[in-house]
Amino acid sequence: MSMDIHATHDLNDAHAGHHDHEHHHEESFVSKYVFSMDHKTISRQFLITAVIMAVVGMMMSVMFRLQLAWPHEGFALTNFILGDKWAPKGVLDPNMYMALVTLHGTIMVFMVLTGGLSGTFSNLLIPYQVGARDMASGFLNMLSYWFFFASSMVMLLSCFIESGPASGGWTVYPPLSAVAEFMPGSGLGMTMWLVSMSLFIVSSLLGGLNYIITVINFRTKGMSMTRLPLTIWAFFITAILGVLSFPVLFSAALLLIFDRSFGTSFYLSDIIVNGAPLEQTGGSPILYQHLFWFLGHPEVYIILLPALGLASEIISVNSRKPIFGYRAMIGSMLAIGFLSFIVWGHHMFITGMNPFLGSVFVFTTLLIAIPSAVKAFNYITTLWKGNIQFTPAMLFAVGLVSTFISGGVTGIILADSALDIPIHDTYFVVAHFHIVMGLSAILGMIGGVYHWFPKLFLRKMNKTMGYIHFWITFVCAYGVFFPMHFLGLAGVPRRYYTNSEVPMFDNLMDINVLITCFAILAALGQVLFLFNFFYSMFRGEKSEQNPYNANTLEWTTPMKHTHGNWPGALPVVHRWPYDYSKPGEEADFIPQTVPLRPGEVDGGGHH
Partner 1 sequence: MVQLLIYLAIVLLIVAVAQLARVFELASALKGGLKNKPTERDNRINGILWMVYLIAFFAFIIWQLLSYGPRMLPEAASDTGVKLDWLFNFNMIIIFIVFVITHVILFYFAFKYYGRDKNRATFFPHNNRLELIWTSVPAAVLAVIIFLGLKLWSEITTPANDKTSEVIEIYTKQFDFTVRYAGADNTLGKANYKLVQGANILGLDSTDTNGCDDKIVKGELHLPLNKEISFKIRSQDVIHSVYFPYHRAQMNSVPGMTTLIHFKPTISTAEMRKKLKNDKFDYWILCNKICGTSHYAMKLMVVVETPEEYSAWLKKQPEFMPKATASLPPAPAAVEPKKEEKGM
The interface with partner 1 within residues 389-448 (CB under 8 A) comprises: 389-391, 395, 398, 401-402, 405-406, 409-410, 412-413, 416-419, 421-422, 424-426
Sign of CA dihedral 32, 34, 38, 40: positive
- Alpha-carbon gap, residue 8 to 14, rounded angstroms: 10
176 binds partner 1 (CB under 8 A): yes
Kindly report the backbone phi and psi dihedral angles of residue 349, in degrees, each rounded to the nearest multiple of 5, phi listed first.
-60, -30
Q: Applying CB under 8 A, which of residues 6, 7, 272, 560 lies at the interface with partner 1?
A: 272
- Alpha-carbon gap, residue 221 to 284, rounded angstroms: 53
Kindly report the backbone phi and psi dihedral angles of residue 268, in degrees, each rounded to the nearest multiple of 5, phi listed first.
-120, 135
Residues in region 234-263 near partner 1 by CB under 8 A: none
End-to-end CA distance of the chain: 12
Provide DSSP, 274-306: TTEE-S--S--HHHHHHHHHHHHHHHHHHHHHH
Please say which residue, 11 or 373, places its beta carbon nearer to partner 1: 373
264 binds partner 1 (CB under 8 A): no
308 binds partner 1 (CB under 8 A): no
Closest separation in Å from C-beta 248 to partner 1: 20
Q: Applying CB under 8 A, which of residues 263, 327, 569, 601 lies at the interface with partner 1?
A: 327
Closest separation in Å from C-beta 50 to partner 1: 21
531 binds partner 1 (CB under 8 A): yes
Please say which residue, 4 or 585, places its beta carbon nearer to partner 1: 585
Provide DSSP, 488-512: HHTTPBSS-S-STTSGGGGGGHHHH
Please say which residue, 326 or 566, places its beta carbon nearer to partner 1: 326
Residues in region 96-115 near partner 1 by CB under 8 A: 98
Please answer whether residues 159 and 104 qualify as being in contact, where contact means their C-beta atoms are separated by less than 8 angstroms.
no
Residues in region 67-96 near partner 1 by CB under 8 A: 75-77, 80, 94-95
Please say which residue, 134 or 420, places its beta carbon nearer to partner 1: 420
204 binds partner 1 (CB under 8 A): no
Q: How many residues bind partner 1 (CB under 8 A)?
A: 137
Alpha-carbon distance values, 360 to 248, 344, 416 (Å): 21, 11, 11
Kindly report the backbone phi and psi dihedral angles of residue 272, in degrees, each rounded to the nearest multiple of 5, phi listed first.
-115, 125
* Cβ neighbours of 168 (radius 10 Å): 24
290 binds partner 1 (CB under 8 A): no
Can you state the angle between helices 123-130 and 442-457, rounded to 10 degrees? 60
Given the rule CB under 8 A, which of 13-21, 34-42, 125-133, 322-330 is the region that contacts partner 1? Answer: 322-330
Closest separation in Å from C-beta 411 to partner 1: 9
Provide DSSP, 112-128: IIIIIIIIIIIHHHHHH
3-state secondary structure of 273: strand
Residues in region 536-555 near partner 1 by CB under 8 A: 541, 547
Residue 521 makes CB contacts below 8 A (sequence gap 6+) with 472, 476, 479
Given the rule CB under 8 A, which of 15-23, 111-119, 154-162, 505-513 is the region that contacts partner 1? Answer: 505-513
Q: Applying CB under 8 A, which of residues 463, 537, 546, 594 lies at the interface with partner 1?
A: 463
Please say which residue, 34 or 273, places its beta carbon nearer to partner 1: 273
Given the rule CB under 8 A, which of 108-116, 229-237, 531-539, 554-562 is the region that contacts partner 1? Answer: 531-539
Instruction: Give 493's strand partners.
Output: 426
Q: Applying CB under 8 A, which of residues 131, 175, 222, 296 lies at the interface with partner 1?
A: 175
Residues in region 471-500 near partner 1 by CB under 8 A: 471, 474-475, 478-479, 482-483, 486, 489-491, 493-499
Nearest to 23 by CA among 559, 568, 457: 568
Please say which residue, 217 or 498, places its beta carbon nearer to partner 1: 498
- Alpha-carbon gap, residue 465 to 97, rounded angstroms: 34
358 binds partner 1 (CB under 8 A): yes
